[in-house]
């Protein structure tokens, strides 16, 4: 069985993420979308909310499992019996960053492989941080994030 892990903070999940999930799910028997705790970021949504939003927005993809973790990615992957890491790429700058991370993972754990999937061009400019910034200034995020996520961001931003 081919099990892959697609890690990220997904704060919030965007249509670009969904695009990567849909396409990656066709390559593997099980695709685990793993929300990880990144101590360097201040999230808009807590871990449980991100898991909930991912569960709602990926229910149309039958072989996806949503989970969360903190700690080392290689250890998490082994706990899940996965040997593939999926990374989405938007631009060349993403590749440089993700390439270095993939080489580091390979150095500490040669059994793990990293697969890069380019997002569709219509989503190449979308980032979670850009969505949060746009929403915080009252900009329209329709079509950039799933509808349920858009509603949740709208109610969260108003509270801030």
Which one is catalytic: 37, 41, 59, 147?
A: 41
128 is in an annotated binding site: yes
155 is in an annotated binding site: no
120 is in an annotated binding site: no
17: annotated active-site residue: yes
136: annotated active-site residue: no
126 is in an annotated binding site: yes
17 is in an annotated binding site: yes
CA angle, residues 92, 69, 50, in degrees to nearest 5: 75
C-alpha Rg value of the chain to the nearest Å: 15
70 is in an annotated binding site: no
Q: Which ranges of 4-145 would DSSP assign to H, the alpha helix?
A: 15-25, 47-57, 73-79, 92-108, 128-136
- List, in sequence order, every residue forming a beta bridge with 3; answer none if it has no partner: 30
41 is in an annotated binding site: yes
CB-hemisphere CA count at 13 Å for 60? 7
Question: Could you say which DSSP state residue 122 is in?
Answer: G
Distance CA 6, CA 20 (A): 9
Distance CA 102, CA 113 (A): 8
Which one is catalytic: 50, 128, 132, 152?
A: 128
93 is in an annotated binding site: no
99 is in an annotated binding site: no
Which one is catalytic: 90, 101, 106, 156?
A: 90
Which one is catalytic: 17, 50, 132, 152?
A: 17
Which residues sit in the known binding site for ATP? 9-10, 17, 88-90, 98, 123-129
Binding residues for substrate: 9, 41, 73, 87
Residues with catalytic annotation? 17, 41, 90, 128
């Amino acid at each position: 069985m081919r099990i892959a892990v697609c890690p990220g903070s997904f704060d919030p999940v965007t249509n670009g993420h969904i695009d990567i999930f849909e396409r990656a799910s066709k390559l593997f028997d099980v695709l685990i979308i793993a929300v990880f705790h990144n101590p360097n970021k201040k999230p808009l949504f807590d871990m449980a909310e991100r898991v909930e939003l991912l569960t709602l927005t990926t229910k149309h993809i039958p072989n996806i499992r949503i989970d969360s973790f903190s700690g080392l990615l290689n250890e998490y992957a082994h706990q899940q019996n996965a040997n593939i890491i999926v990374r989405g790429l938007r631009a060349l700058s993403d590749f440089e960053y993700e390439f270095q991370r993939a080489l580091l993972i390979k150095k500490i754990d040669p059994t793990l492989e990293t697969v890069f999937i380019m997002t569709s061009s219509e989503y190449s400019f979308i980032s979670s941080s850009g969505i949060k910034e746009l929403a915080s200034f009252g900009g329209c995020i329709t079509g950039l994030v799933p509808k349920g996520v858009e509603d949740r961001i709208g109610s969260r931003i108003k509270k801030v």
